[in-house]
């Protein structure tokens, strides 16, 4: 039971080195447990319980640790839509294997993204999953710029990292990634908001994020003085009460003279060019600024 308890305490998968050093488990104990079917050999030097997490087992079987967006999703952090298994492998590991069978080589059919980070300070492989800081650093390099910044925004917004920790994450990366620190906004409530914010600021549009409007609450983006942009994610507005609240907010905005645009997840992620065209047309017409023609509340 000592062996099984030890493996369970390590997340259901463990290296023989960790079992020996931290729990006093011998290789003989491991061999006996394997023969009894209590644990399975994942890869040389690693064993797991039968019910161990499949992603963790797959990452170790490949030859590394679960990392990048595969870890971010587990923390509820926004990241690019990519269901591949992301595995960090040390530079000296030459034989990467199938996540399903350690006897088979890794192939493109296995939907695995192997990372071999070269920057200094990358941790050695001692467990099956990377810490959040290492995973974030890989995700910054791995993802398109807008998604990478959205991941950093999300981690800050969920209080999973501090600003100081974010600086540490970016510090060892190449200069173009370190520059992301200048555009991160921990107030962002979703990746949709981040993407819209970055795109519109890149077009020179003046905007603020998460602005509180009387009788409305916080709005996602406020362009200029009066153009409100709301971004609706998959998980939002699914209940009748949410639908009604949206309409109440829209009425309250209109009553105060604001102009409102709402874009869906699909529109932002698949058809942003058209969304941007509409927004920029309103900005060019000064619809984002208070003018004499606009009716303002008394």
* Same domain assignment for residues 86 and 169: yes
pLDDT, mean of residues 78-95: 90
- Per-residue pLDDT for 127 more than 80? yes
Residue 293 lies in a domain: no
Quote the pLDDT of residue 91.
82
* 243 band by pLDDT with thresholds 50, 70 and 90: confident
Residue of 103, 148, 154, 96 lying closest to 125 (CA atoms): 96
* Helix intervals (H) in 203-296: 240-255, 265-270, 272-284
Domain boundary among 14, 30, 52: 52
Q: List the single range of 157-161, 179-183, 235-239 with lowest mean pLDDT.
A: 235-239
* Strand residues in 81-174 grouped as ranges (E): 85-88, 112-115
pLDDT for 154 beyond 90? yes
Percentage of residues of the chain with pLDDT beyond 90: 79
Task: Work out the pLDDT band at 46, boundaries 50, 70, 90.
Answer: very high
Residue 53: exposed, middle, or buried by beta-carbon count in 10 A (0-12, 13-18, 19+)? middle
CA 132/CA 137 separation, integer angstroms: 9
Q: Which of 120, 152, 182 is the last residue of a domain?
A: 182
User: What is the C-alpha to C-alpha distance for residues 40 and 138, in angstroms, rounded to an integer?
Assistant: 29
Cα separation, 55 vs 52, whole angstroms:
9
Per the structure, the count of domains in the chain is: 3
Spatial strand order of the sheet with 112-115 comes to 65-66, 85-88, 112-115
More confident residue, 121 or 218: 218
Which one, of 115, 34, 18, lies nearest residue 71 by Cα? 115
Task: With beta carbons less than 8 A apart as the criterion, state whether 113 and 85 touch.
Answer: yes
Which segment of 151-165, 237-251, 277-291 scores lowest on mean pLDDT? 237-251
* pLDDT of 167 above 50: yes
Do 42 and 84 fall within a single domain? Answer: no
Please state the rounded mean pLDDT for residues 259-276: 94
How large is the average pLDDT for residues 147-159?
A: 97
pLDDT: which is higher, 242 or 290:
290
pLDDT (0 to 100) of residue 206: 94
Q: Are residues 177 and 66 in the same domain?
A: yes
d(CA 184, CA 63): 33
Q: What is the pLDDT of residue 236?
A: 47
Instruction: HSE, CB side, 13 Å, CA atoms: give it for residue 266.
Output: 0
Of 41, 31, 38, 28, nearest to 8 by C-alpha is: 38
Question: What would the pLDDT profile of 55-86 be if each residue is shown by its tens digit?
Answer: 999 999 999 999 999 999 999 999 998 989 99
CA distance 55 to 42: 12
289 lies in some domain? no
Task: For residue 68, give the 3-state DSSP assignment.
Answer: coil
Do 143 and 212 lie in a common domain?
no
User: Closest Cα to residue 220, out of 245, 247, 193?
Assistant: 193
- Residues comprising the chain, all counted: 298
Q: pLDDT confidence of 122, banded at 50, 70, 90? A: confident
Residue 232 is assigned to a structural domain of this protein: yes
Residue 94 banded pLDDT, cuts 50, 70, 90: confident
- Please tell me the predicted confidence (pLDDT) of residue 184: 97
In this structure, are 47 and 147 located in the same domain?
no
Structure tokens belonging to residue 179: 């520059």
Residue 222 host element (H or E):
strand 217-223
Residue-range definition of the domain harbouring residue 223: 191-284
CA 239 to chain centre: 25
Question: Is pLDDT at 239 greater than 70 in this prediction?
Answer: no
Q: With 70 as the cut, is the pLDDT of residue 16 above it?
A: yes
Region 243-247: mean pLDDT is: 83
For residues 139-158, average pLDDT? 97
Same domain flag for 137 and 176: yes
């Amino acid at each position: 039971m000592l062996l099984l308890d030890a493996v369970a305490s390590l997340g259901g998968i463990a290296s023989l080195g960790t079992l020996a050093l931290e729990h006093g488990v011998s290789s003989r104990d491991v061999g006996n447990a394997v023969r009894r079917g209590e644990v399975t050999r994942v890869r040389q030097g690693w064993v797991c319980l039968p019910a161990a997490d499949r992603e963790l087992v797959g990452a170790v079987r490949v030859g590394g640790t679960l990392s990048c967006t595969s870890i971010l999703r587990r923390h509820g952090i926004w990241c690019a839509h990519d269901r591949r298994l992301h595995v960090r492998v040390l530079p000296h590991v030459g034989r990467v294997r199938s996540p399903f069978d350690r006897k088979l080589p890794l192939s493109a059919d296995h939907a695995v993204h192997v990372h071999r980070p070269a920057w200094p300070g990358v941790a050695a492989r001692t467990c099956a999953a990377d810490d959040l800081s290492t995973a974030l650093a890989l995700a910054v390099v791995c993802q398109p710029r807008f998604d990478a910044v959205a991941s950093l925004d999300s981690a800050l917004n969920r209080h999973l990292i501090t600003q100081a920790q974010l600086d540490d994450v970016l510090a060892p990366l190449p200069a173009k990634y370190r520059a992301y620190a200048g555009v991160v906004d921990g107030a962002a409530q979703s990746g949709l908001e981040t993407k819209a914010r970055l795109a519109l600021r890149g077009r020179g549009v003046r905007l603020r994020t998460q602005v509180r409007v009387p009788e409305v609450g916080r709005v996602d983006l406020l362009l200029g003085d009066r153009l409100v942009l709301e971004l609706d994610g998959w998980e939002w507005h699914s209940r009748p009460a949410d639908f009604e609240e949206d309409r109440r907010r829209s009425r309250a905005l209109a009553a105060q003279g604001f102009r409102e645009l709402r874009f869906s997840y699909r529109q932002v992620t698949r058809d942003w060019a058209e969304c941007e065209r509409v927004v920029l047309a309103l900005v060019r017409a000064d619809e984002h600024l208070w003018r004499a023609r606009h009716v303002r509340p008394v």
